[in-house]
Amino acid sequence: MRFIGLGFATLLLMVVLVRLLYRSRSSDEERIEQNARVAAKNLFLIQSGQKWGSPSFLLDRALGRATDSRYIDLRRNSESNLVSRGYFAKRTFHFEHGTHSWKEFSEAIKRKFTEGDYCTCAYLTSESSIEVITRPNRVADVEQLVLEYDKADP
C-alpha cells in the first residue's frame, strides 16, 4: 500500500512539474492571446444561447459572470494590450467600390484564417470599411481579400 501511495505522489509531482514547465514556455503574449480566444469563444456561446461550454464558461455562469459585456471587454483589453506590444497589428481597410456582400467577405475571412490563426474584424458598413486585428504577418492576407471583394459591379 505504501508503494502505491509513493507512486501516486511521484505521478502527481511529475504532472505539476510538466504543467509548470509548459507554462514557463508560453510567453506573456501567448497567454494574453489565449485569453482573447477564450473570451471570444465564451461570447459566441452566450450569443448563440448555449448552456454548456468550456470549464471557464461554466464557472462564469455559476458565479453569474457570464455576460456579453464581460467577454467583449476581456477580448478588447487583450487585443489592445497585444497591439501595443506589437504582437498584433490593427489596420482599417476601406472598400473603394464597396463590397456587395459582407456575408461572403466574412465567409472568405473564415476560410483564410483557420482555428489556429487569430483575426477579428469589425465591419463598419456605413463607412464601407473593416477594422482588422491579426498578427502582423497576416495583414497582407486580409488586404488581398479586400482587393478581391472590392468590386464596382455585383
Is 5 a domain residue?
Answer: no
Total domains in the fold of the chain: 1
Instruction: Give the domain CATH number at 113.
Output: 3.30.1370
Domain of 115, in residue numbers: 89-154
Sequence-distant (6+) residues with CB within 8 A of 53 are 41, 42, 45
**What span, in angstroms and rounded, lies between the C-alpha atoms of 39 and 68?**
10
Tens of pLDDT along 40-65? 887 877 777 777 777 777 888 788 87
pTM above 0.85, yes or no: no
State what percent of residues in the chain have pLDDT above 70: 79
Tens of pLDDT along 60-90? 878 887 788 888 888 899 999 999 999 999 9
Is 124 a domain residue?
Answer: yes
Sequence-distant (6+) residues with CB within 8 A of 31 are none
Is 126 a domain residue?
Answer: yes
pLDDT tier for residue 7 given thresholds of 50, 70 and 90: low
